[in-house]
A and B are shown apart, each in its own frame.
Chain A
Amino acid sequence: MIFIEAFKMAKERAVITVTGIDHPGIIASITRTLADENVNIEDLSQTIVQGLFTMILIADITDHDLSRLQQKMAQIGKKQGVQITVQHENIFKYMHRV
């Protein structure tokens, strides 16, 4: 039982990567949607890589539907003209952490 409880408590995170041409409103539109979906942002970093606006958000998606979030972000990506990918954290954990 203890194991099951611990398992349930394990946090599920998504990594949201946003790249595109910088313009006003990108961060606002994404964070607004995450707030509407009651998704907590754990970390956020924004920079310019090779002239492109690049933002990475780590979001807590425990008890959230990842595919719903992906759909929402796809809509914003289209509207804002930026590329947004939403991936479960484990792909990065597996690739970069031993």
Chain B
Amino acid sequence: MIYSIEEILETVHMIQAEHLDIRTVTMGISLRGCISDNIRTMNENIYETVTARAENLVSEAKAVEEKFGIPIVNKRISVTPVASLLDTPLAGKSDAKAIEGAVSVARTLDRAAKDLNIDFIGGYSALVHKGFTSGDSILISSIPEALTSTDRVCSSVNVATTKSGINMDAILLMGQVIKKTAAISPVGCAKLVVFANAPSDNPFMAGAFHGEGEPENVINVGISGPGVVRAVLSQMDNSDLGELSETIKRTSFKITRMGELVGREMAQRLNVEFGIVDLSLAPTPAEGDSVANILEVMGLEKCGTHGTTAALALLTDAVKKGGAMATSYTGGLSGAFIPVSEDAGMVDAVKSGAIGIDKLEAMTSVCSVGLDMLVVPGDTSPETLSAIIADECAIGMINSKTTGVRIIPAGKEGEYVEFGGLLGGSYVMPLNKFSSAGFVRRGGRIPAPIQSFRN
């Protein structure tokens, strides 16, 4: 036989029993051609462009799913950061009118997403790591209303880069934006990421946008597979860490090949350029499909205990080594995701007190992409939220990596808050009780770090 029975059964088992799937096929669409000095005309252009380019995205994804027998969980779209479209039509308008105009763009994107039957549309975004244009300011002020009056629009704001430093004015503002959004609807915060070093080809939400340097139209793929890695490692009780790393590499190779296959097939069918495969292990709330559980299979009693940072470093590095060999182009976030509410093992660790924000922050410094889907007390001050973002951006800036914060102030400490679907739910995590207000209120920019003398 051209394939051994073991090989065929391994693939079938990965999909049927271990939750192997393609987490997302995300089409990047440039909206630069849509700019008009009239907001209504611009909205029409945007709707027209998005629905025309992505017309067959869902139907072709379905066909590919059937052909290979592998689920494609999400079909998504990312667009040009909307803030860059707003300067022309909304210049000189009053604050209220400008915000209304920006929100109308969010609603247009939402309508397009619903008509196309895609899961999420990302790119209600602004890149303000050095400062704000008028479009950026309008977009950021409009985020609370935009995210709570739409269902499928996702937003991200890049506030820091290694090359330009951290914009603390923007971070102060984002603390307030998150508070305001949560006050209207906490789920709104689940659709908002604050980034350092945001990648322009990320297929994952909420942080996807179609950034600079990208072509007119592109297909990016996000893979999954924590369940597969966990299942393989659970049979290696007597192996040392070098052997675990080897096995993770091999498994990651196989998982990533699925991303490469599906990405190429989708790009060909849609006659669109194939962009990248994002090598992230993305968990889901499903039992066993958890990054935390992988760390526990490695020998930690609970994710979050001492040794977690080291285990996660090993895991992510091995995933990248194996994955990079399996695909011609890697990109996006490519790190292990530890979105607390979306990972049953992580939620369990929070519940049992094994993990807190300090350990999570440490974990983000070695590999993962940030403090993700963290539920903190509803009465957390905007300044404290800003300070959490600033810490995370500092890690990203100094280590030349992407970090993000997706944080939801809701409920009381220890309470369980549910978001539904892939977003899951989690227990409200305690924060440091001491104030950071004096520091974050200073504003200004933290200068870019020196790239030599790395210690």
In the bound complex, what is the Cα–Cα distance between A66 and B66 (angstroms)? Answer: 9
Q: Is A17 located at the chain interface by the 8 A CB criterion?
A: yes
In the bound complex, what is the Cα–Cα distance between A56 and B69 (angstroms)? Answer: 15
B258 near A92 with CB under 8 A, answer no
Q: Is B241 located at the chain interface by the 8 A CB criterion?
A: no
Q: Is B96 located at the chain interface by the 8 A CB criterion?
A: no
A45 near B1 with CB under 8 A, answer yes
Q: Which of B247-280 contact A (CB under 8 A)?
A: 254, 257-258, 260-261, 265
Q: Which of B27-72 contact A (CB under 8 A)?
A: 63, 66-70
Q: Is A15 located at the chain interface by the 8 A CB criterion?
A: yes
B7 near A96 with CB under 8 A, answer yes
Complex: chain A residue closest to B20, CB-CB: A95
In the bound complex, what is the Cα–Cα distance between A92 and B14 (angstroms)? Answer: 12
Q: Is B5 located at the chain interface by the 8 A CB criterion?
A: yes
In the bound complex, what is the Cα–Cα distance between A92 and B9 (angstroms)? Answer: 10
Write out the residue numbers on chain A whose beta carbons fall within 8 Å of the beta carbon of B8: 15, 17, 56, 92
Write out the residue numbers on chain B whose beta carbons fall within 8 Å of the beta carbon of A92: 3, 7-8, 11
In the bound complex, what is the Cα–Cα distance between A87 and B12 (angstroms)? Answer: 9
Once A85-B12, A95-B11, A95-B257 are accepted as A-B contacts, the answer to whether A67 and B5 lie under 8 Å apart by CB is no
Complex: chain B residue closest to A87, CB-CB: B69
A56 near B5 with CB under 8 A, answer yes
A45 near B5 with CB under 8 A, answer yes
Once A94-B257, A94-B258, A95-B258 are accepted as A-B contacts, the answer to whether A88 and B67 lie under 8 Å apart by CB is yes
Pair count A-B, CB < 8 A? 64
Write out the residue numbers on chain A whose beta carbons fall within 8 Å of the beta carbon of B63: 67
Q: Which of A29-64 contact B (CB under 8 A)?
A: 43, 45, 47, 49, 54, 56, 58
Q: Is A90 located at the chain interface by the 8 A CB criterion?
A: yes
Which one of B11, B16, B260, B265 lies within 8 Å of A96 (CB-CB)? Answer: B11
In the bound complex, what is the Cα–Cα distance between A92 and B257 (angstroms)? Answer: 10
Q: Is A86 located at the chain interface by the 8 A CB criterion?
A: yes
Which one of B1, B16, B69 lies within 8 Å of A91 (CB-CB)? Answer: B69
B17, chain A: closest CB distance, angstroms? 11
B1 near A90 with CB under 8 A, answer no
Write out the residue numbers on chain A whose beta carbons fall within 8 Å of the beta carbon of B3: 15, 58, 92-93, 96
B235, chain A: closest CB distance, angstroms? 14
Mark A67-98 against chain B: 1 for CB-CB distance below 8 A, else 0: 10010000000000000011110111111100
Determine which residue in A15, A45, A93, A94 has the highest number of CB atoms from chain B within 10 A of its CB, and name it.
A94
In the bound complex, what is the Cα–Cα distance between A64 and B66 (angstroms)? Answer: 15
A87 near B68 with CB under 8 A, answer yes
B122, chain A: closest CB distance, angstroms? 27
B66 near A49 with CB under 8 A, answer no
In the bound complex, what is the Cα–Cα distance between A96 and B424 (angstroms)? Answer: 34
A75, chain B: closest CB distance, angstroms? 16
Q: Is B450 located at the chain interface by the 8 A CB criterion?
A: no
Write out the residue numbers on chain A whose beta carbons fall within 8 Å of the beta carbon of B2: 43, 58
In the bound complex, what is the Cα–Cα distance between A27 and B21 (angstroms)? Answer: 30
Complex: chain B residue closest to A92, CB-CB: B3
A54 near B5 with CB under 8 A, answer yes
In the bound complex, what is the Cα–Cα distance between A86 and B69 (angstroms)? Answer: 7
Once A54-B5, A58-B1 are accepted as A-B contacts, the answer to whether A67 and B260 lie under 8 Å apart by CB is no
B326, chain A: closest CB distance, angstroms? 9
In the bound complex, what is the Cα–Cα distance between A88 and B261 (angstroms)? Answer: 11
Write out the residue numbers on chain B whose beta carbons fall within 8 Å of the beta carbon of A17: 8-9, 12
A43 near B1 with CB under 8 A, answer yes
Once A66-B67, A85-B69 are accepted as A-B contacts, the answer to whether A91 and B258 lie under 8 Å apart by CB is yes
Write out the residue numbers on chain A whose beta carbons fall within 8 Å of the beta carbon of B261: 90-91, 94
Complex: chain B residue closest to A44, CB-CB: B1
B153, chain A: closest CB distance, angstroms? 33
Mark B392-428 against chain A: 1 for CB-CB distance below 8 A, else 0: 0000000000000000000000000000000000000
A56 near B1 with CB under 8 A, answer yes
Write out the residue numbers on chain A whose beta carbons fall within 8 Å of the beta carbon of B67: 66, 87-88
A70 near B66 with CB under 8 A, answer yes
In the bound complex, what is the Cα–Cα distance between A45 and B68 (angstroms)? Answer: 20
A15-B8, A92-B7 are known; give 16 further A-B pairs, CB within 8 A.
A17-B8, A45-B5, A49-B5, A49-B9, A54-B5, A56-B1, A56-B5, A58-B1, A85-B16, A88-B67, A90-B261, A91-B68, A91-B70, A93-B3, A94-B260, A95-B11
Q: Which 10 A-B residue pairs are closest in the complex by CB-CB distance? A: A87-B69, A94-B261, A91-B68, A94-B257, A96-B7, A88-B67, A95-B254, A92-B3, A43-B1, A95-B257
Q: List 24 A-B contacts (CB under 8 A).
A: A17-B8, A17-B12, A43-B2, A49-B9, A54-B9, A58-B2, A58-B3, A66-B66, A70-B66, A85-B69, A87-B67, A87-B68, A87-B69, A88-B69, A90-B68, A91-B70, A91-B258, A91-B261, A92-B3, A92-B11, A94-B258, A95-B257, A96-B3, A96-B254
